[in-house]
Amino acid sequence: MLSDECIFCQIIRGERPSRKVYETETIYAFHDINPQAPTHILIVPKKHIARLADITPEDAPLLGEMMVAAKTIAEQEGVSSGFRLVINSGREAGQSVFHVHLHLLGGRRMRWPPG
Ligand code: 5GP
Ligand code: ZN
């Protein structure tokens, strides 16, 4: 998919509304439109990469920044005592938006294994 048509690229460019919680030069984070927990934030690299399966070694610093963002946002949102990070890669894994994103879930008891 071209980044022109990608809904997360549109959100990052401000062409589609979102409830932003955090932004840096490389990352944009906002509330999920269909939350699966009291806190459900999507942490998205500004660079369009379709799936985690498509990353290259050059993306390693960016992925590290996403983790640091997750920690910072968890503190900001008051869930740092317990939260879960999820990346779905590929349709079989439940990925529905093909622009890499990290789900930050918190504010309720999490079960294991996930569905
Ligand atoms: P995936 O299923 O690809 O791992 O996650 C995609 C997530 O994006 C879903 O949790 C879905 O609710 C969320 N989502 C899809 N479209 C939009 C949108 O337009 N705005 C926001 N804020 N979230 C969206
Ligand atoms: Zn995109």
Domains of the chain (ranges; CATH) run 7-106 (3.30.428.10)
How many CA atoms are closer than 13 Å to the CA of 96, on its beta-carbon side?
A: 4
Spell out which residues have Cβ within 5 A of ligand 2, the ion: 3, 6, 8-9, 48, 99
| CB of residue 94 inside a 6 A radius of ligand 1 | yes
Residue 106 reports pLDDT greater than 70:
yes
Which residue do the tokens 């390693």 mark?
A: 60
The span from the CA of 97 to the CA of 107, in Å, is 24
Secondary structure of residue 82 in the 3-state scheme: coil
Tokens linked to 12: 């990052």
Residue 102 banded pLDDT, cuts 50, 70, 90: very high
* Shortest-distance atom of ligand 1 to CA 86: 4
For the segment 10-20, the average pLDDT, to the nearest whole number, is 97
Q: Is the pLDDT of residue 9 over 70?
A: yes
Q: Is the pTM of this model over 0.75?
A: yes
Residue 3 has pLDDT above 90, yes or no: no
C-alpha pair distances (Å), 47 with each of 35, 41, 59, 80, 108 = 24, 18, 10, 27, 31
Residue 101 among the catalytic residues: yes
